[in-house]
Amino acid sequence: MSRSVYRRKCTHDAARLGNAVNDLCLTFSTWEGESRRAGTRSRYTHGLNGSAGAPPSQKVLVLVCLLIITGCDRLDMYDQPRYEPLEASQFFGDGLSARPPIEGTVARGALRDDISYFTGKEDGKLVAQIPQAAYRAIYDRNPQRFDKSYDDVEPATLRRALLERGQERFNIYCSVCHARTGDGDGMIVRRGFRPPPSYHIDRLRQAANGHFYDVITNGFGAMARYSSQIDVADRWAIVAYIRALQLCHNAQLDDVPADQRDGLIKLQSSDEPQDASSEDVP
């Protein structure tokens, strides 16, 4: 619950409780045989000021009233004059209560001096490689997982971590349209959204890594930008994973390590006739 909502609710509740206690006081007074018309309220107030002669039940009620009033003292603290985020102000000429940062100031830790990492471009040209900072970021995300300092982790381990993260993020954010395979027939597309191109066409296979980063960051045609949902490190992880998808899709037997080729051939030959015969069954 936001503070202002809490504040309103507390004021409201206190008012309601106050009324309820007031009513109770009135009922008690009436029960004691006093006429309401004679002005019970003033008698009740009298009871508050000097209730020496009041019955014990009434004293308890007076105590409850006092507790409620003191219990809401914190309202004063919550109720300081201040602006809610994005609230308008008549004090400043532009009508905004929030002030823009002074031109040229950079928040601590927000200096984006690694241009190629943050923009996917170097001297205006799309970068070809995944920037080193992307690997550093995957390490920094969870250093315990690697159990050694960044400089001692094998590059292959870092690459694998980057790809795994990319796979996870890709399946969450992109596969709904681009499909888990990158073919471009994800579920939203099957339901009528404009189909994106397959990642496996020549133009995209030859595109620079920076192009994929740029598309995620700034959007592309009918595709919205994802910069507010996917941070810089994860965008690079997705780029790496798209590269892996492209590689797999166009892989040749020679790309498979020699000692695993036989197994793959066997798997392929045992799959094919079975698939064919199952399709033949009417």
- Integer Cα distance of 272 and 121 in angstroms: 45
- Nearer to ligand HEC by Cβ, of 18 and 195: the residue is 195
Specify whether the CB–CB gap between 182 and 242 falls below 8 A.
Answer: yes
| Residue list 185-204, contact with ligand HEC (CB under 6 A) | 188, 193-194, 196-197
Specify whether the CB–CB gap between 218 and 137 falls below 8 A.
Answer: no
Interface with ligand HEC includes 216 (CB under 6 A)? yes
Helices in 2-102 by DSSP H: which ranges? 3-31, 40-49, 56-71, 75-78
Specify whether the CB–CB gap between 48 and 62 falls below 8 A.
Answer: yes
User: What minimum distance in Å lies between the beta carbon of 218 and ligand HEC?
Assistant: 11
Candidates 14, 17, 176, 244; binder of ligand HEC (CB under 6 A) is 176
- Integer Cα distance of 191 and 62 in angstroms: 66
- Integer Cα distance of 142 and 147 in angstroms: 10
What is the total count of residues that contact ligand HEC (CB under 6 A)? 20
In 3D, which of 213, 230, 225, 194 has the Cα closest to residue 184? 194
In 3D, which of 249, 246, 254 has the Cα closest to residue 209? 246
> Hey, what are 247's tokens?
């590689």
User: What minimum distance in Å lies between the beta carbon of 202 and ligand HEC?
Assistant: 12
User: What minimum distance in Å lies between the beta carbon of 221 and ligand HEC?
Assistant: 2
- Nearer to ligand HEC by Cβ, of 135 and 235: the residue is 235
Candidates 62, 64, 223, 244; binder of ligand HEC (CB under 6 A) is 223
- Integer Cα distance of 204 and 198 in angstroms: 8
Interface with ligand HEC includes 174 (CB under 6 A)? yes
Interface with ligand HEC includes 212 (CB under 6 A)? yes
Candidates 66, 222, 248, 265; binder of ligand HEC (CB under 6 A) is 222
- Nearer to ligand HEC by Cβ, of 146 and 193: the residue is 193
Candidates 127, 130, 134, 215; binder of ligand HEC (CB under 6 A) is 215
- Nearer to ligand HEC by Cβ, of 230 and 232: the residue is 230
- The footprint of ligand HEC (CB under 6 A) covers 173-174, 176-178, 188, 193-194, 196-197, 212, 215-216, 220-223, 226, 230, 238
